[in-house]
A and B are shown apart, each in its own frame.
Chain A
């Protein structure tokens, strides 16, 4: 990307310059993008590579529950699982984080302590339809409750209406609201809700917008809208973080969320990460899976690889 950091400051200085910049990003040909991920999807990951990929994928899971019916009991069970995904195998890595609504952050934190991160969705998740004040309060509340990471949603309405600066400024404000009294701050994941943005051109623009506004991660979806994470969307977001690093030297993480249920899918994602963004992103620090049912399939495949026989769901905890 032929931009540098000082240029980006100019870009976000006004509505017109921001729009010009975002609309000047190279277009994405949907068919070509789909063909590329389909091609990468045929990579055959076997034996040692599979073992590596399964452990890596487990370590990247943001174990998630985001339901109206969530209770402290449910969240505690989930948090316990995050610490010990496979109670029968201590060599199994922990997941990256537990992801819950803001009011359950403290409950999760009680169980996981500092061993696994707690992420909270905020900013009137999942619709994002609330005033900025409410969104900021939502964010501050979760941070105060001990959230390590905030998963915010962008204002898709503003984005689709072309009010990019408004979207940008809101992310900047939420980023500021992530600050803690000790000077540190919670990490900010920005959910683009790509299913509502529809086009890959929009995904690319929203990715850049979020990165320029200070996102630590860009995340596909809330999981409440279909389609959620798709490989072409992930491809475009990985290209965006790759190009952003080229332009600014700064690495941004990527998190697909929703719809990734099988180990096979997860491994396909890792192949795309590896070949599009590059191996630097193959770490929970830079790539996450927002998922719930995925974890058990990863564990089953892991056990199959270790024991040589197929396992069954009864041998893994349902939390």
Chain B
């Protein structure tokens, strides 16, 4: 007989389910990829670590000015042939690359998680599929550029110098390289110094695809390498994703030149939850908005704006949901939150979280055991935050959510827009007209309504204000890599 007593179930402990590391072969040391070959650099080298264990993964060459110059020269030599190649032929190379990315997706996902610290389920289900999709999407544009709305015969810019961050190493590479190549440019790309390995594996994929030498060049290194690249006189186009501070420095460095720039920079997105929101999905969206990729996301929904009438209810649901998040080994298929990418970034998160404490906000994290080695930070929320707090203004770039409240839609708009950034925003309400009103009022390049952190190769991405300029993705992303010889309407 079934009894009505309150006996309840036992604990369903998920056993470790680690993805096999054996699929990737990490070399002891890596050179630079210039003119279709791996070559030794002229500079020193640096180590890249597994942030989950602090073990050294490989020694990687640090490109100096001479190396950057060689890479730019190789790209310039390749530009002539690549830009004159019929678009349909360029497309086939990009399709090839897309297919090889799919074929080697598991290997890429594991390598990304090892070098970056992100959970395998994200690198496997989000990053790598989007990378392949991006190449597939832009491959199709290569022979259709005259329909891109940039005139009858839009032309490539030349050599693109591209500098990408460590939060989505391979995805940011795809966002940069795919449209550049489709439009007939050649590239010199610098991956972030903490996450160079998937870019170097991508170089190998370019070789497998028989991509003509010099079309893609990869120079590893730190800030100095990036600076040498963006200031190189023979670079026609600079594409950068990273901090607003560095973005401004790049804008200054290229002032007075003819270089074109696309800058995807920081953000402090508001995620606004109205009282009539689908609350359970809103809670999922809040969690995905700030804890996806350990919060190392420029468009993260790092400021939660709750309508006061539902604030307590949403916070209770949020805390319960956060208690189910699994922090730990990035290669465990059940891990929701992986390792912080570097000791430096962990330090910054600690510093800003400490500022939150000092300024009187209330910190909460679910109980979770963090591994002893590696760089870790528990999922954290701060309540009682006001616009004046540092944690409401500065980008933390970690799994830390600042919770504010509002009373009316006008107040929500005012608070959401009260930031120098303008990359993304979220709105949760079941009222259609309010969604459209809010979407119009929010000064941000991407507005997710009743969803958050969604990305697609067809969907342009980029910011307002100090979040940068230019768009990546979609038809609009082509404009960053083409010059329109004759605009619409011109004769």
Residues in A lying within 8 Å of B, measured CB to CB = 1-2, 26-29, 31-33, 35-36, 42-50, 52-53, 56, 96, 114, 117, 148-149, 187, 239, 251, 270-271, 274-275, 279-287
Contact = CB atoms under 8 A, between A and B. Distances in A.
Contacts of A50: 15
B278 A43 contact: no
Given A26-B277, A28-B278, A32-B450, A44 B334 contact: yes
B14 A285 contact: no
Closest 3 A/B residue pairs (Cβ): A282-B9, A32-B281, A44-B17
Interface of B: 1-3, 6-17, 121, 125, 276-281, 284-285, 313, 324, 333-334, 430, 450-451
Please indicate which of the listed interface residues B9, B16, B125, B333 has the most CB atoms of chain A within 10 Å of its own CB: B9
Contact of A36 (B7, B17, B121, B284): B284
Contact of A283 (B8, B15, B276, B430): B8
B347 to A, nearest CB: 31
A283 B5 CA distance: 12
Contact of A46 (B17, B276, B451): B17
A29 B426 CA distance: 15
Contact of A285 (B2, B280, B285): B2
Contacts of A42: 121, 125, 333
A52 B15 CA distance: 10
B9 A280 contact: yes
B2 A187 contact: yes
A280 B8 contact: yes
Given A32-B451, A282-B12, A44 B324 contact: no
Given A279-B8, A285-B2, A2 B281 contact: no
A149 B2 contact: yes
- From DSSP, what is the main secondary structure of chain A's interface residues? mixed
A280 B285 CA distance: 25
Contacts of B10: 52, 279, 282-283
A43 B14 contact: yes
Contacts of B13: 48-49, 52
B22 to A, nearest CB: 17
A274 B321 CA distance: 11
A281 B2 contact: no
Nearest to A281: B9
Given A47-B15, A149-B2, A33 B9 contact: no
B15 A48 contact: yes
B280 A26 contact: yes
A32 B284 contact: yes
Contacts of A96: 2
Nearest to A45: B14
20 contacts: A29-B278, A32-B278, A32-B280, A32-B281, A32-B450, A33-B281, A36-B284, A43-B14, A45-B14, A46-B17, A56-B12, A187-B2, A239-B280, A279-B9, A279-B10, A279-B11, A280-B8, A283-B8, A285-B7, A287-B9
Nearest to A217: B2
